[in-house]
Amino acid sequence: ASPEQALLSAVRPEAAGAPESGIVEVFNYGRGRQGLIPLWVGEGDMPTPSFIQDAATRSLAAGETFYTYQRGLPELRDAISRYMSRVYGQALPAERFFVTIGGMHALQMAIRVAAGAGDEVLIPSPAWPNFLGAVGIGGAVPVEVPMAVDPVRNRWSLDVERLAAAVTPRTKLIIVNSPANPTGWTATREELEAILALARRHGLWIIADEIYGRFVFDGSERAPSFHDIMAEDDRIIFVQTFSKNWAMTGWRIGWLECHPALGQVIENLMQYSCSGVPAFIQRAAIAALEQGEGFVQHQIERVRRGRDIICSGLAATGKVEFADPAGAFYLFFSIKGEQDTRRAALRLVDEANVGIAPGTAFGVGGERYFRLCFARRAEDIQEAARRLAAAV
């Protein structure tokens, strides 16, 4: 064996076996093309507002470059507490919140709390690929539970009986992402209640990834949440992020929420994974929460428009099928007669100059689909709809 092969063969299988993102191939194929409309990744096109940037700059200028609190700056935890209490209409004290390096890091720590080597983790699928990857590198076993389109409501839905049937003595955790990337599935309160009842019955943890909770399309202020139904002793850990609401994907900051009884556990996980989030980035996050509500509203409006434009534009072709996304900012659609979505996504780069993700990236049940992100300015979405319509 070559030295490279020998080195690689010594890597633990959990780390070596982490799948490559299914979006990377199209991304590498199309990146840098003149005039390409990139709808393949999960982020909008707006830069971080300047009042957020300024707060970071001021913090740096003031010398906030030292190690900081493991759990997060007290001022930021207070600001998160005020924000969450307002959005969810209940008192959620600062002790519940822990500042993390994005939602991804919160997810990583939450999995560490709940599932170890050999434990099974239920993931309704199609799903954000990082759920599978993050579970796998921790040595636990992801178990995908296929979701389906409810033909009556024309919505993705989760069959909780099917979820229940997937529980084994090794099951420790259910990951619930609602509103969901990539399908737009948004659990009803009844669905959440059924999932929670199942978790209680079997003593399972729930990771509630509600990062898209404010992007909903039925006219309500936010999606139903486990906050609405949970009791003190429920084993629920929430994952949250500044990435989407405040256009801060590159800043890498988010938070984890759980019962304060787990505070020391989370503090330890913080200490030994990253030893705290940079203070100047936390200052930016405080500005986002305290002055950013107008910006969030503006984003939500934009996303609603983007959804309307893309849905009507593609529906008009008669060649594209999809369940209406109830939340988040993705359209998960199929093209009639198109089986090989990996190759089709590459072809659409050439023929439509639009970048979309093949559904193969999103696990079981996603194979026939494509995902595009409609969190962009209306002109781009309009043009993307026109080009895609012409190409299909």
> Which residues sit at the interface with ligand PLP, rule CB under 6 A?
42, 102-104, 128, 177, 181, 209, 211, 241, 243, 249, 254
Residue type, 370: F
Q: Quick one: 22 or 254, whose CB is closer to ligand PLP? A: 254
Q: Choose between 42 and 327: whose C-beta lies nearer to ligand PLP.
A: 42
> Residue 212 Cβ, how far from ligand PLP at the closest point, in Å?
7
Q: Are strands 148-150 and 155-157 parallel, antiparallel or unpaired?
A: antiparallel
Q: 88 and 323 in contact (C-beta within 8 Å)?
A: no
Minimum distance between the CB of residue 61 and ligand PLP, rounded to whole angstroms?
26
Q: Nearest distance from residue 134's CB to ligand PLP, in Å?
A: 10
DSSP SS3 for 78: helix
**Is the Cβ of residue 102 or residue 325 nearer to ligand PLP in the bound state?**
102
Q: What angle do CA 70, 179, 365 make, to 5 degrees?
A: 110
The reply to whether omega before 182 is within 30° of 0 (cis) is yes
Question: Could you tell me where the beta strands, DSSP code E, fall in 269-368?
Answer: 320-322, 330-335, 354-355, 357-358
Cβ 145 vs Cβ 118: under 8 Å: no
Q: With respect to ligand PLP, which residue has the nearer C-beta, 371 or 387?
A: 371
Of the pair 131, 392, the CB lying nearest ligand PLP is at: 131
Q: b/e per residue, 194-224, with b = 16+ CB within 10 A?
A: bbbebbeeeebbbbbbbbbbbbbbeeeebbb
Residues in the chain, how many?
Answer: 392
Q: Are 167 and 195 in contact (CB under 8 A)?
A: no
Whether the Cβ atoms of residue 201 and residue 194 lie closer than 8 Å to each other: no
Nearer to ligand PLP, 131 or 333 (CB): 131
Task: Compute φ and ψ for 215, nearest 5 degrees.
Answer: -95, 85
Least CB distance from residue 48 to ligand PLP, whole Å?
A: 13
Q: How many whole angstroms separate alpha carbon 224 and alpha carbon 80? A: 19
Q: Which residue's CB is nearer to ligand PLP, number 48 or number 177?
A: 177
